Amino acid sequence: MAITPLMPVYPRSPVRPVRGEGVYLYGEGGEKYLDFASGIAVNLLGHGHPHLTKAIQEQAATLIHVSNLYGSPQGEAYAQRLVDLTFADTVFFTNSGAEAVEGAIKTARRYHHHHGNPHKHTLITFKNAFHGRTLGTISATDQEKLRDGFAPLLPGFKVVAFDDLDAARAAVDEHTAGFLLEPVQGEGGIRPASPEFIRGLRETCDEKDLMLVFDEVQCGVARTGKLYAYEHYGVEPDILATAKGIGGGFPMGAFMATEKAAVGMVVGTHGSTYGGNPLAMAAGQAVLDVVANEEFLAHVSRMGERLRGALEQMIPNHDHLFESARGIGLMLGVKMKTDSRAFVTYLREHGLLTVAAGDNVMRVLPPLVIEEAHVTEFVERLSDAARRYEAPRAG
């Protein structure tokens, strides 16, 4: 048989980590990597963080899983904490980002159904968006590479240009349920939406009784220097999907909503076997213990400024390779002039982990616990690698 036991849907790199410590990963043969990818914006606390590890170990020894058929003191406590920290009044726990987005989409549709408007089922979504790999979430994008071969897709999505308020407004019709967007696009190439765009969408939703749905799976949980990226814009969504960093590496997510938006999500409308189990709740609590305070968020902003500043200083030295740096907090991207995927692969071979993204961008997503020394190490090694990467071209 030629097929590999691990279904071959990923072009897996030769990096084969078996152990992690802080911001470093170690491969099978002891190779050391500086991890500025964080499992694609997941390991907020780096690897082997003592508080997260202890919380998971203790909870695993106490109670891992029961069922959502029973009362959940662990889920109630953690949901209350998220409600206290955000715009939301209520939370549903999922196991991944795509499931969180699916739940957010269902909540938006159900709102209009509840109000006697089941024809208001279509979400306006945006070019270059990424919302996950389920049938619903690939239907919400226009990216052929995600959709090819999976037809028929779900109806109920209309894709328009990102950050174009006029296009978004013009797309609204009698079937519109609301807008679904990443306030900072991740896979699409680290593109923060403009404040005018986000505020304009909020106004349109208020005027027309539509749902503003944010997918903060990548940009949420302190990554941008705020607990959630919407706080940068001074507007609140009606519904928000979160995952990735929320468990610090433990697979979990959530969708959250205001009381108004969640009006249709009554008993029997949604469910999940694992969602919100005690082990996940312990991981989520441990992450919030570390990140949900002003001091930590200020650290993220400060490190983000340092890293961005250092990248901007370095870029002119390799200006045939790099164009510019962009992003917010520690959700950064370097727009490249050559193929970002090839360069990210080259960096991996030289012990530096970053992630490629759309628009020829190299994503720089370090653990949020990095210190200045890691910023310096990263940029020096990146610059060295860029110099060597140039060499064969020059020769």
Whether the CB-CB separation of 235 and 202 falls below 8 Å is answered with yes
Verify binding: residue 228, ligand PLP, rule CB under 6 A.
no
Binding mask 131-170 for ligand PLP (x = CB under 6 A): xx--------------------------------------
H-state helical runs in the chain: 38-41, 50-62, 73-85, 97-114, 135-139, 144-147, 165-170, 195-208, 278-291, 294-314, 340-349, 372-394
Measured from the CB atom, the residue of 24 and 139 that comes closer to ligand PLP is 139
Measured from the CB atom, the residue of 97 and 189 that comes closer to ligand PLP is 97
Binder to ligand PLP among 125, 141, 218, 360 (CB under 6 A)? Answer: 218
Whether the CB-CB separation of 274 and 95 falls below 8 Å is answered with yes
Q: Which residues contact 51 (CB under 8 A, 6 or more apart)?
A: 45, 286, 289, 290
Whether the CB-CB separation of 23 and 376 falls below 8 Å is answered with no
Q: Which stretch binds ligand PLP (CB under 6 A): 6-14, 53-61, 128-136, 280-288?
A: 128-136
- Taking the complex as a whole, the smallest distance from the CB of residue 98 to ligand PLP amounts, in Å, to 3
Whether the CB-CB separation of 349 and 340 falls below 8 Å is answered with no
- Taking the complex as a whole, the smallest distance from the CB of residue 216 to ligand PLP amounts, in Å, to 7
Whether the CB-CB separation of 327 and 190 falls below 8 Å is answered with yes
Q: Which stretch binds ligand PLP (CB under 6 A): 52-60, 90-98, 257-265, 360-368?
A: 90-98
Quote the distance between the C-alpha of residue 185 and its chain's center.
Answer: 9
Verify binding: residue 239, ligand PLP, rule CB under 6 A.
no
Q: Is 323 exposed, middle or buried (0-12, 13-18, 19+ CB in 10 A)?
A: middle
- Taking the complex as a whole, the smallest distance from the CB of residue 101 to ligand PLP amounts, in Å, to 5
Whether the CB-CB separation of 336 and 360 falls below 8 Å is answered with yes
- Taking the complex as a whole, the smallest distance from the CB of residue 294 to ligand PLP amounts, in Å, to 26
d(CA 24, CA 11): 22
Binder to ligand PLP among 35, 102, 187, 238 (CB under 6 A)? Answer: 187
- Nearest partner of 91 among 228, 199, 201, judged by Cα: 228
Measured from the CB atom, the residue of 23 and 180 that comes closer to ligand PLP is 180
- Taking the complex as a whole, the smallest distance from the CB of residue 256 to ligand PLP amounts, in Å, to 15
Q: Which stretch binds ligand PLP (CB under 6 A): 70-78, 97-105, 292-300, 341-349?
A: 97-105
- Taking the complex as a whole, the smallest distance from the CB of residue 113 to ligand PLP amounts, in Å, to 24
> How many other C-beta atoms are found inside a 10 Å radius of the C-beta of residue 62?
11
d(CA 71, CA 212): 31
Site size for ligand PLP, by CB under 6 A? Answer: 15
Q: Which stretch binds ligand PLP (CB under 6 A): 127-135, 152-160, 261-269, 304-312?
A: 127-135
Q: Which stretch binds ligand PLP (CB under 6 A): 72-80, 125-133, 192-200, 231-239?
A: 125-133
Verify binding: residue 24, ligand PLP, rule CB under 6 A.
no
Please give the biggest Cα pair distance in the chain.
Answer: 69
- The three-state secondary structure class of 208 is helix
Beta-ladder partners of 69:
none
d(CA 126, CA 164): 9
Measured from the CB atom, the residue of 187 and 238 that comes closer to ligand PLP is 187
Measured from the CB atom, the residue of 186 and 278 that comes closer to ligand PLP is 186
Verify binding: residue 243, ligand PLP, rule CB under 6 A.
yes
Q: Which two tokens stand for residue 307?
A: 């890293």
- Taking the complex as a whole, the smallest distance from the CB of residue 147 to ligand PLP amounts, in Å, to 15
- Nearest partner of 236 among 204, 263, 198, 210, judged by Cα: 198
Q: Which stretch binds ligand PLP (CB under 6 A): 59-67, 215-223, 297-305, 316-324?
A: 215-223
Binder to ligand PLP among 186, 192, 327, 333 (CB under 6 A)? Answer: 186
Verify binding: residue 181, ligand PLP, rule CB under 6 A.
no
Verify binding: residue 94, ligand PLP, rule CB under 6 A.
no
Q: Which residues bind ligand PLP (CB under 6 A)?
A: 40, 96-98, 101, 130-132, 182, 186-187, 215, 217-218, 243
